[in-house]
Structure 1
Amino acid sequence: MSSTKRLLASIHDVGPRFEAEVDQLAELLENRLGQGRFAMLVVPDHWGAAPLREDKAFQSRLRAWSDSGIEMFVHGWFHRDTARHVGAASFKARHMTAGEGEFLGLDEATALRLMREGKALIEDAIGREVAGFIAPAWLYGEGSLAALRQAGFALAEDHWKVWNATSDRVLAKGPVITWASRSTARTASSLAFAALARTVLPHALDTVRIAVHPGDVTKPSLLSSIDATLSRFARSHHPARYADLS
């Protein structure tokens, strides 16, 4: 296996609200990739109903995961999108997520404040720097992108690339392989794409990204597809860290 071929895997929406689901996904990833060979995307207060700041027990779990080698990313603040959108942003908000694109419509000052507060909160919990920032639903508006360049993060990611958050230098290209649980049609589409990716992408991409979400555990078909996809890419791509890109 070439050391230049990397597999980057991540668990999204990590926080007290989905602790049981995160445990199940972490076990699945660890079984296929090894201890600490994936990332967690942490939401400071998911939909305003699960504040990490007040949950010392979950903060301790984050630190233990981080100590084991798992990279920690700031993943928005609330994760919920409350902005009113027009034009292309309106299309993205309706069709690329279900009210989850929190950083799509934020102005620069608000985005920067939430980024810095999330960074400080999670770094205090884990006792080290976070790996970077990834917006909920991978959606960024102009204000969020401008804020990102000032917030002090090393890395950022969207659907199609990973980049240096300060310089904008692209570090890896290619689609994220992910799954959808919120409708039968979206589930079927995500299963089909994952099957295609297992055939095409091992030869096409040096860096492959796989992302899983708490909702994935609600459907056995998704868990089976995730397991098959992790297994396939672990044979051709080395389970790596996002920091290896920089």
Structure 2
Amino acid sequence: MLSQASLPIAEDRGSRRLLASIHDVGPRFEREVDQLADRLSRHLGGPRFAMLVVPDHWGQAPLVGARAFQARLREWADGGVEMFVHGWTHRDDNRSKGFRAKHMTAGEGEFSALSQAEALRRMTEGRALIEDITGKPVAGFIAPAWLYSPGAKAALGEAGFAMAEDHMRVWRPADGAVLAKGPVVTWASRSRSRIRSSLAFSAVARTALRPLRTLRIAVHPGDTTVPALLDSIDASLAAAMRDRTAGRYSDLVKRK
């Protein structure tokens, strides 16, 4: 149950912002990312969204060597799209975790059980690669499935990222300052039950999350395979833009 009493309230459209993002960006999902980028741009009035880039999705789609997709990333970054490091492979390779734990995230919680040293290595290598491709600093780091081990959280500050995000907040790793609060509105395409539950939540969120100063909406490549999810995404974006402006994650840091 969402409690409006605990949500920070904004008084007018000028102080309300929508932060939209496309997850799992990489050559493996180039067509789907194109579709989502076009869709978000139509609703937001241009490329005012973030992309969460995976350097080598599931170890099967490396950015290194994908020259055409690298050029697309540079093009998007030059157009104003913010780039986040989104893990390294997105895949959880921890063999000690049980079936249930992995099933809950479809084995995609890459940073949910990493040591600080390993998390730092993947973070810094991902950052170096993406910044080398785009020629611009990354906006921050967002773990796959929004899951961080204690070691991964500690590594964020050591890596020097300006911001990080989980399902319920955006924060500054340097001092732990919370930059935005409230659940991310997102969708799931993995099963009928997950489709139904995400459709239900997004419908409720259009009203229940209106008091938030900062509303976050995140879309994934798999969303493009389910027409009902695309319709819901359109409805949520349209509803949000009626009383919000399309913002940038970097605005949160400037405000603080």
TM-score range, shorter chain: over 0.9
Identify the residue that residue 217 of structure 1 maps to in structure 2.
224
- For 1:75, the equivalent position in structure 2 comes to 86
Aligned residue pairs, count:
242
Q: Please report how far the alpha carbon of residue 86 of structure 1 lies from its aligned counterpart in structure 2 after TM superposition.
A: 5.6
Would you say 1:39 and 2:50 are equivalent positions? yes
Which amino acid in structure 1 is aligned with residue 207 of structure 2?
Answer: T
235, 238, 241: which one aligns with 2:242? 235
Quick one: distance in 2 between partners of 1:134 and 1:37? 18
CA distance in 1, matches of 2:143, 2:39: 24
Alignment-derived partner of residue 158 in structure 1: 166
Please show how residues 92-171 of structure 1 align to structure 2 within 5 Å. 93-95=102-104, 97-171=105-179
Shift of 1:129: 0.2
Q: 1:29 aligns with which of 22, 40, 53?
A: 40
Whole-angstrom CA distance in 2 between matches of 1:86 and 1:210: 29
Deviations 1:37-69 (A, max 9, x none): 100000000000000011111111101100100
Helix, strand or coil: the match of 1:40?
strand
Other structure's SS at 1:177 match: coil
Counterpart AA for 2:41: E
Offset from partner CA, 1:83-105 (integer Å, 9 cap, x none): 14569xx865442x110000001
1:175 maps to which residue? Answer: 183
Q: Conserved in 2, the CA contact under 8 Å of 1:7 and 1:233?
A: yes
Match of 1:4 among 1, 15, 21: 15
State the 1:165 CA deviation.
2.1
Letter in 2 for 1:164: R
- Deviation for aligned residue 1:17: 0.1
Identity percentage over the alignment?
63
Q: Distance in 1 between matches of 2:240 and 2:95?
A: 39
Match for 1:224: what amino acid?
D
Unaligned runs of 5+ in 2: 1-11
Q: Is the 8 A contact 2:130 2:138 kept in 1?
A: yes
In structure 1, stretches of 5+ residues that fail to align are: none
CA–CA distance in 1 between the matches of 2:240 and 2:148? Answer: 28
Question: 2 CA distance for matches of 1:45 and 1:237?
Answer: 35
Of residues 16-25 and 76-85 in structure 1, the stretch that sits farther from structure 2 once superposed is 76-85
Shift of 1:3: 1.7
Secondary structure at the counterpart of residue 171 of structure 1 = strand
From 29, 53, 56, the counterpart of 2:67 = 56
Q: Distance in 2 between matches of 1:77 and 1:106?
A: 12
Q: What is the TM-score normalised by the length of structure 2? A: 0.92
